[in-house]
Homo-oligomer: A and B are copies of this chain.
Amino acid sequence: MALDQSVSKIVKVESLHVKVSCQTCSISQLCIPSSLTDSEVSRLEEIIHRETSVQKGKFLCQTGEKFQSLWAVNSGSFKSYTLSEDGDINVTGFYFPGELIGLDAISSSTHRTFVKALETSSVCTLPFDKLDDLSGDIRNLRKQMLKIMSNELMDDQELLMLLSRKNAAERMAAFLLSLSLRFKQRGFSEKSFNLTMTRSDIANYLGLAIETVSRLITKLQKDEIVNINDKLVEIIDHKALIKLAGASCEAH
């Protein structure tokens, strides 16, 4: 599959004199769980470009582009993927409000993935050089950045377990649980949320065939564990889902 549509062109949302500040936003994991003081948040605020809108299907970044900023998702959702030489897509992750995009590009100073909006979304832009300078001063910011990265490492390791050792049903269950947890952590409903990505994205991400994903979803409904109506997921039996995701012995 080739690149669809035109290259991204990020459009600044009209601010309409509504000056939203980081203090009230409380969404990015960079500010919130950390112990930044008000004045520290203010300094962070100064370097952040706030509330940029990205239309559905547009790119936040593309492979090969120079890395300059991190993005914090404000609303909407994104998928990241790589393209192999043969042109096949490898979905590497999904991003939801409160999450940081671009951490993996720090080391090479170049983006290694395509990041595409799954719906019309908005992000804050964090120029990395300035962020880095600031973190020299602010111990808690430095700590928080390392923490976020370390956290990502842990998440990746978990995903690794999932993909290498779990069967299809376990992967699907773990995927839904992970989404549920991420939404919960950011103050959204953990019981009911939207799958903004396609079945094909999910299948690709989980290393499964799209037909397998479809069948698994059907089965989860039959077993009355989750209810999935097209895009809308409702988790009915959370415990059963956990059990399904965790059980790695019986299946082997």
Residues on A lying within 8 angstroms of B by beta carbon are 82, 84-86, 88, 90, 92, 103-108, 112, 132, 135-137, 139, 142-143, 145-154, 156-157, 159-161, 163-165, 205-207, 246, 248-249
Contacts and interface: CB of A to CB of B under 8 A. Distances in A.
Contact of A154 (B112, B135, B147): B112
A242 to B, nearest CB: 12
Number of copies: 2
Contacts of A150: 103-108, 149
Contacts of A142: 132, 135-136, 142
A161 B82 CA distance: 10
Contacts of A137: 136
Contact of A147 (B88, B107, B164): B107
A156 B156 contact: yes
Contact of A143 (B132, B160, B207): B132
Contacts of A84: 248
A108 to B, nearest CB: 7
Contacts of A147: 106-107
A157 to B, nearest CB: 5
B143 A146 contact: no
Contacts of A157: 92, 104, 156
B105 A164 contact: no
Given A104-B154, A152-B153, A164-B207, 9 more contacts: A86-B248, A88-B248, A107-B146, A107-B150, A108-B151, A132-B143, A136-B142, A145-B146, A149-B153
Residue of A146, A161, A205 contacting most chain B CB atoms (<10 Å): A146
A137 B148 CA distance: 21
B165 A207 contact: yes
A95 to B, nearest CB: 14
A156 B154 CA distance: 10
